[in-house]
Structure 1
């Protein structure tokens, strides 16, 4: 072990006066804090910044784990070489999970794998990350948990705004009310308060408080006064940045003395880059991955944009730590054997490159002028971001006519389809151009009533097309009536696309789901698609044993051939651009 550079403390072999045995002594304030959390058998030495660790194989193994990640000055080198060369004791197996029946306050039946999930939450004391793939019922498992644990109420649920009404419906559907004297009221449901304004005022007594992430910092004192016992963070990837007000507010609430359970839910806990997992674990189980600097020092490298990216050789080790200490993740292929597979395909379509290049020239000329006139770094950065956003809109506009043709033809070979786009302008053009299909719609800014009416109409079959915003339509809804999903535009985050796909690919889906990514030839789409693949491999390397398969070529090509034939019949055009897996 090198002793050069920055070290956290020192390690030497001493005769401990208290136990009269040869033991390991760790010195240094930070090192003692770290080892006291890592080795329960440790005790304080003669000084405040000393800790004594027994010279037992299981303790030495924990010290070796610590030295691999955080440098200590090893003073007793020969003793350390002798002790650390012993074969490590076998890892204690993670407690086996067994199907657990929910408490009497729960209404309904859990699937077998959901009963195992309930057992995991109980054995984790409610401080856990439930990272099952989308569509496996994380909400119902968390409700079963709070219905089973004693003294779990009141519960704070923090979730995206568009999912709050769904949470209320699920609480009413799955939970019975428990009276103050402990009696179960089977015909009643727990009280629910949805916090909808940022204005400070006392909260009335309730079993559940539901709030969206954006309001959390404004109402944190009111929520703290409610003596919350359990916090459930739905779509917990919203806490991926420690520099946000919602992260600070959640950390403040999670540290309140009344809070004993912190549960995170997300099928995509890593949204863009693997280092985001640190901030989530720091809320749910503080200190598990050390400080952010310590985490980055061992697991990450810094890329050319200054972002922390988890090293490929460390991804398996990080996944193992998460699975051992905090995370349960099941994929649909593991637990839903009757669910058909999901097929992704990248379809390169024509785009109006003349329009796109003219727009690009205009956008960048304007940006150059703004950069010249900008007086501060803030204005220069804002100008650059506007240019990137404008380029994305231009890429979408350039391929819209060809997207419309693709969707029209896919409607002729299938009953229902979901089309996702990113920008309001594209959403409006698609709705206007495809109005003969009377599409349902999901877009940001809708009322909860209008949003739910559109979803219900689509699921009943009253409308056979859904046009949805990528951000607004990828959370908290079920669109499994359709088996075709078309991405008219791309987002930079692979998590957004996976969430959108799994609005269709979930419990209740009887058919194979086909997801088509429409890439505008010669536009920004080419670069975005490459970034999605790169980020996807990093995420899969941490959360799963292997990257998700991206292709099922024969069936996808067969369907695309039918679509191309129809398009060519109408336009008399040459064969469309080539197709390749995402």
Structure 2
């Protein structure tokens, strides 16, 4: 890495004290963000930093990630504090996995790789992250563990709202009721309740309490009284931000003296950047990655937006640490030889550029007016985000006629198709234009019953077309009836696309899955694709030790999501 500035020990004429002078545009920008005592020097890109031990440490932190040329080497060496840290206690390493047998309370059948998943939970003492790719049975592995280990009840299941009923059904399907005297009752499942209201009230006595993430904070006091033994966090990426109320609620619940087992489930625990893994691990195995500050100092650098990004040369060591001590990660290609491959293809389609540019001009004009009227930085940022969302919807409308033709061409070969979109307006327009196919629908705001009816209608073959919202239909559903998935709009997160693809590409799928990403020529889609590719590189390196190298941008853009599967050309 080339130097991006200089560091010199100087006598500052303004304060009359010996200080550190930092030069260089990027270096000064970094200093201004993390050292509040600094002030600007004489030059355009020059900052003066008071000479005190704390500031020296901050400068060193910058230099570990962004090399500065040191012009006062002797002084710098004298000022560096000598620190010795006690060697951290080595966490227990998980041994080689074997085929474990579930306990008698479990009444299902496990595939061999699922028995290894059960063994992983046993050897990790029930404090682990199951991060297998979606569709490999993390739910059934978890229930088999709860039905095998001693003292797992009562258990709290925390999951997205749309998956609560499915959890209750899976509990009834795979577990037997254990009476107070320890006798198993084959024809009765454990007792369970779904918590649906935020008002505080007595929850009663059950084996399972099932709740969505949004209610956690409101019901924390009631949940804390239950003497919980097990906490399962499904789609645990919901806890990737340590500043949210749901994270703080889970953090306190998992620290209760009664809680012995903490299990996180997610095929995509990292959504946008590697540092999102820290809050998740801090709940499942507190201290494994140190404090967040320690984690960032060792593994990360801070980008121009202030986000912690895992350094390229640290990604392998982070993955190794996770896999040795807390995370089980397997891909479908590793354990399901009978599952057909998944093929992604980027399709550049025409867009109504005249309409797009006219609407874009209106959007940027409104943004300019909103920024002038903004009273603070938050208002200005909000205005910008509104503009970006508006642009994305305009891009969706501009390419919509060509999306519709693409879908109709697929439908003509009488194959079932799932179409994902982002905006409700686009969802509605797709429904209108494709009404002849009587499409099923998944969209935000549906009741559990409406959603399940739509899924059943599609899976039973009563309709060959499903139109789903990207974030409403990306988790908790099975759409293996189809082998074609079409993305009419793109999301900013690679994980969203991967989750949506894997509604089709999972256990039960008998065909190759074809995923088509439709990109409007001349719209923001091309920029979004590049962002997705950059994010995918970091995520793949941490999760799978498989970073695909591409020699040209055109080939790289084909992925548009995490690169896990073999990519081949599609002809015909």
Shorter chain as denominator, the TM-score bin is 0.7 to 0.9
Other-structure match for 2:280? 280
1:232 aligns with 2:232: yes
Other-structure match for 1:120? 120
Q: CA deviation at 1:377?
A: 2.0
> Structure 2: 5+ residue runs without aligned partners?
1-52, 59-80, 548-562
2:94/2:123 contact within 8 Å kept: no
Distance 2:438 2:167 in 1: 29
Distance 2:414 2:93 in 1: 49
Q: CA deviation at 1:202?
A: 1.2
2:272/2:539 contact within 8 Å kept: yes
1:557 aligns with 2:571: yes
Distance 2:395 2:300 in 1: 33
Other-structure match for 1:525? 525
1:125/1:261 contact within 8 Å kept: yes
Label 1:334 to 1:550 Cα distance change in 2 as closer, same or farther (>3 A).
closer
Label 1:100 to 1:550 Cα distance change in 2 as closer, same or farther (>3 A).
closer
Other-structure match for 1:384? 384
Distance 2:133 2:90 in 1: 34
1:345/1:550 contact within 8 Å kept: no
Other-structure match for 2:298? 298
Q: Structure 2 length normalisation: TM-score?
A: 0.82
Distance 2:512 2:445 in 1: 32
1:262 aligns with 2:262: yes
Distance 1:93 1:310 in 2: 23
Q: CA deviation at 1:97?
A: 1.0
Other-structure match for 2:509? 509
Distance 2:287 2:353 in 1: 51
Other-structure match for 2:455? 455
Distance 1:250 1:196 in 2: 17
Other-structure match for 1:107? 107
Q: Secondary structure at the match of 2:157?
A: strand
Distance 2:297 2:398 in 1: 44
The equivalences for 1:44-443 within 5 A come to 94-443=94-443
1:345/1:551 contact within 8 Å kept: no
Q: CA deviation at 1:552?
A: 3.5
2:94/2:120 contact within 8 Å kept: no
Q: Secondary structure at the match of 1:354?
A: helix
Other-structure match for 2:39? none
Show CA shifts across 1:441-499 (max 9, x none): 00010011110011011111001000000111010111001000000000000000000
Other-structure match for 1:489? 489
Q: Secondary structure at the match of 2:412?
A: helix
Distance 1:38 1:111 in 2: 36
Distance 1:190 1:211 in 2: 16
1:159/1:210 contact within 8 Å kept: yes
Structure 2 counterpart of 1:38, from 64, 89, 97: 89
2:93/2:325 contact within 8 Å kept: no
Deviation above 3 Å: which 4+ runs of structure 1?
A: 3-7, 549-554
Show CA shifts across 1:148-193 (max 9, x none): 0100000001000000011011111111111111110100011111
Distance 1:110 1:230 in 2: 21
Q: CA deviation at 1:413?
A: 2.1
Show CA shifts across 1:310-339 (max 9, x none): 111111110000001100011000000000
2:342/2:566 contact within 8 Å kept: no
Distance 1:537 1:120 in 2: 27
Q: Structure 1 length normalisation: TM-score?
A: 0.81
Q: CA deviation at 1:557?
A: 2.8
Distance 1:104 1:462 in 2: 39
1:163/1:476 contact within 8 Å kept: yes
1:403/1:518 contact within 8 Å kept: yes
Q: CA deviation at 1:376?
A: 2.0
Show CA shifts across 1:218-253 (max 9, x none): 001100101111000000000010111110111010
Q: Secondary structure at the match of 2:345?
A: strand
Other-structure match for 2:38? none
Distance 2:275 2:571 in 1: 37
Distance 1:321 1:250 in 2: 23
Q: Which moved more, 1:378-387 or 1:147-156?
A: 378-387
Q: CA deviation at 1:362?
A: 0.5
Distance 2:178 2:506 in 1: 32
Q: Secondary structure at the match of 1:129?
A: strand
1:356/1:395 contact within 8 Å kept: yes
Label 1:178 to 1:138 Cα distance change in 2 as closer, same or farther (>3 A).
same
Other-structure match for 2:31? none
2:102/2:145 contact within 8 Å kept: yes
Q: CA deviation at 1:127?
A: 0.4
Show CA shifts across 1:25-73 (max 9, x none): xxx9x977x64x5169xxxxxxxxxxxxxxxxxxxxxxxxxxxxxxxxx
Q: CA deviation at 1:93?
A: 7.2
Distance 1:413 1:351 in 2: 25
Q: CA deviation at 1:359?
A: 1.0
Distance 2:308 2:183 in 1: 51
Distance 2:449 2:287 in 1: 42
Q: CA deviation at 1:509?
A: 0.7
Distance 2:93 2:448 in 1: 46
1:344/1:551 contact within 8 Å kept: no
Q: Secondary structure at the match of 2:264?
A: strand
1:176/1:189 contact within 8 Å kept: yes
> Structure 1: 5+ residue runs without aligned partners?
8-27, 41-91, 559-582
Aligned length: 481
Q: What is the RMSD computed on CA atoms of the aligned residues?
A: 1.8
